[in-house]
Amino acid sequence: MCGTCGCGQPDDHITIRKPGEENHHEHTHEFEHDHDHEHDDGKHKHSHHHKFKHTHSHDGHEHSHDHEHEHHEHDHEHSHSHEITIEQNIMHKNDMLAERNRGYFEAKNIFTLNLVSSPGSGKTSLLERTINDLKNEIKFYVIEGDQQTMNDANRISATGAPVVQINTGNGCHLDADMISKAVKKLDVTEKSVLVIENVGNLVCPSLFDLGESKRVVIISVTEGEDKPIKYPNMFMTSHLCIINKTDLLPYVDFNVGKTKEYALRVNHHLEFIELSVKTGEGMSKWYEWLKKNKAK
Amino acid sequence: MHELSIAQNIIEIVEEHAAKMKARHVTEIVLDIGAVSGVVPENLEFAWEVSAKNTVVEGALLKINFIEAKAVCLECKKEFELDDIYTMCPHCGSFQFEIIQGKELKVKSIKIE
Ligand SMILES: Nc1nc2c(ncn2[C@@H]2O[C@H](COP(=O)(O)OP(=O)(O)O)[C@@H](O)[C@H]2O)c(=O)[nH]1
Ligand SMILES: [Mg+2]
Ligand SMILES: [Zn+2]
Ligand SMILES: [Zn+2]
Ligand SMILES: [Zn+2]
Ligand SMILES: [Zn+2]
Ligand SMILES: [Zn+2]
Ligand SMILES: [Zn+2]
């Protein structure tokens, strides 16, 4: 059962809401209706049905329906097979929506970051501290991605920054469409910084452009130093790599130089900043990077 | 497993074209998947089985053209085949190269009737 509204649907739908808000989410319903398709192959004319899945929204809610159709019986033999050339990028739809987001951000002078990492590397902690340290200079907005919980949005809300939580249910990444909806809800103002905390996962967020200005990958020193070669696409598509939790370096067997070497093999344009959100060591370099790139 | 959303994207693209052509069945789908695209063909085939159910592509043959990765070295300017993204140029040992082939993620063609 859906834990959000008790509507009886499995808890796998996408919700977008602010802390304290309820019940705005996507439902999946079984829904039956018929439609016919006329078709003429020269010899005869007939109509028949297909199964198609559609998503459409009404009254601010989004619903997915499965349309079940019976295939009719033919009393004649025929075959009419055609090959159609398509040549379409599989990520085409997301890429187009991402470019729309990007155009909107550029026009409004909104500097947008997509934060990606494994769970627990310190994305939310970095954001909390950054907002608290810079909130007198920079207007921050935050979109939080998580499969189930509101925890991160509540943490960000405590800093005073406007935040929207996207719960992806079974989905393990954010996509450009979710961002465009969340941005509308956030009502982001001009000349601000929008930070998107992606779902904790180093695999599929790499494929989904959100329209961000820069992609920032975070790795902490408690993780394996071979992460960059285990998850090459994430490091290949990022602009900055933050190595977090440097306060723990004396206690762990993590070679910073080796990690950088691996990451540079995958992406020789990648920049690095080593820091500890906990002690504040290295944070000034991150703030410098943020202000420099925001100004570009 | 992000191959599930990849499979759904493919089905959406195919459904759109099939509906436009008023197709009764889709019998074959040909894809180009690059070696460094981030998509693993085996995972995609698995995701396909799950996603194709009750759609116009159910029962269609999925053909995957696996595209080998190639790069051009920024130091010695030579081309080479890439086994891993983190490899080095076999001619001069440089790690500085640009990938020129192998990122493909494409629906090439479909067969309908
Ligand atoms: N020692 C240490 N712990 C940190 C640091 N940054 C974050 N953490 C801890 O790491 C855990 C996960 O952090 P969180 O920000 O929730 O990670 P996220 O899942 O990437 O958002 C929390 O317990 C943090 O307190 C750091 O610089 N040093
Ligand atoms: Mg978090
Ligand atoms: Zn519900
Ligand atoms: Zn129909
Ligand atoms: Zn409908
Ligand atoms: Zn017929
Ligand atoms: Zn995913
Ligand atoms: Zn070379």
Contacts of B85 in chain A (CB under 8 A): 229, 232-233, 236, 265-266
Residue A5 domain-assigned (yes or no): no
Q: Quick one: pLDDT at residue A44?
A: 46
Evaluate whether residue A8 is within a structural domain. no
From the CA of B39, how many Å to the nearest CA of chain A?
A: 9
- Sheet (strand B97-101) strand order: B79-82, B69-73, B97-101
Question: What tokens appear for B4 in the block?
Answer: 């599930």
Say yes or no for a CB contact (<8 Å) between B110 and A86. yes
Is A275 inside any structural domain?
yes
Contacts of residue B27 in chain A, CB cutoff 8 Å? Answer: 81
Q: Is the CB of A204 under 6 A from ligand 1?
A: no
**Which residue of chain A comes nearest to B7, CA vs CA?**
A90
- At residue A294, the pLDDT reads 95
How far is the C-alpha of A202 from the C-alpha of A198, rounded, in Å? 10
Residue B112 near chain A (CB below 8 Å)? yes
Residue closest by Cα to atom 28 of ligand 1: A245
CA–chain centroid gap for A22, Å, is 21
- Give the best residue of A55, A90, A93, A215 to mutate against chain B (max B CB count within 10 A): A90
Answer yes or no: is the C-beta of A247 below 6 A from any ligand 1 atom.
yes
Residue A64 falls inside a structural domain:
no
For chain B, the straight-line distance linking the first and the last C-alpha, in angstroms and rounded, comes to 32
Asked if B65 and B107 touch (Cβ cutoff 8 Å), the reply is no
Residue contact A88–B107, C-beta within 8 A: yes
Mean pLDDT of B16-21: 91
| Dihedral of alpha carbons B96, B98, B101, B102, sign | positive
Instruction: Work out whether strand A140-146 and strand A52-58 pair parallel, antiparallel, or are unpaired.
Output: unpaired
Domains of chain B, first to last: 3-112 (3.30.2320.80)
Do residues B104 and B33 touch, judged by C-beta distance below 8 A? yes
Predicted local confidence at residue A61, as pLDDT: 47
Per the structure, the count of domains in chain A is 1
Contact B95 A268 (CB under 8 A): yes
CATH number for the domain including A181?
A: 3.40.50.300
Q: What is the span of the domain harbouring residue A122?
A: 92-295
CB A228 less than 6 A from any atom of ligand 1: no
- E strand or H helix at A256, and its extent? helix A256-266
Contact of B12 with chain A, judged by CB distance below 8 Å, is answered with yes
Closest residue by Cα to atom 11, ligand 1, is A120
Q: Is residue A164 part of a domain?
A: yes
Rounded Cα distance between A48 and A71, Å, is 6
| pLDDT tens figures, A207-236 | 999 999 999 999 999 999 999 999 999 999
Residues A269 and A260: their CA atoms lie apart, in Å, by: 12
Per-residue pLDDT for chain A (296 aa), expressed as one digit of tens each? 344 344 444 445 788 888 888 644 444 443 334 444 445 444 444 444 444 444 444 444 445 454 444 455 544 444 567 899 999 999 999 999 999 999 999 999 999 999 999 999 999 999 999 999 999 999 999 999 998 899 999 999 999 999 999 998 878 899 999 999 999 999 999 999 999 999 999 988 999 999 999 999 999 999 999 999 999 999 999 999 999 999 999 999 999 999 999 999 899 899 999 999 999 999 999 999 999 999 98
Total residue length of chain A:
296
Give domain status of residue A23, yes or no.
no
Are A232 and B86 inside 8 Å of each other by CB? Answer: yes
Is A87 among the domain residues? no
Q: How far apart are CA A142 and CA A145, in angstroms?
A: 10
Write the CA distances from B4 to B28, B35, B36, B43, integer angstroms: 19, 18, 18, 8
Residue A286 maps to a domain: yes
The sign one gets for the Cα dihedral B50, B54, B59, B65 is negative
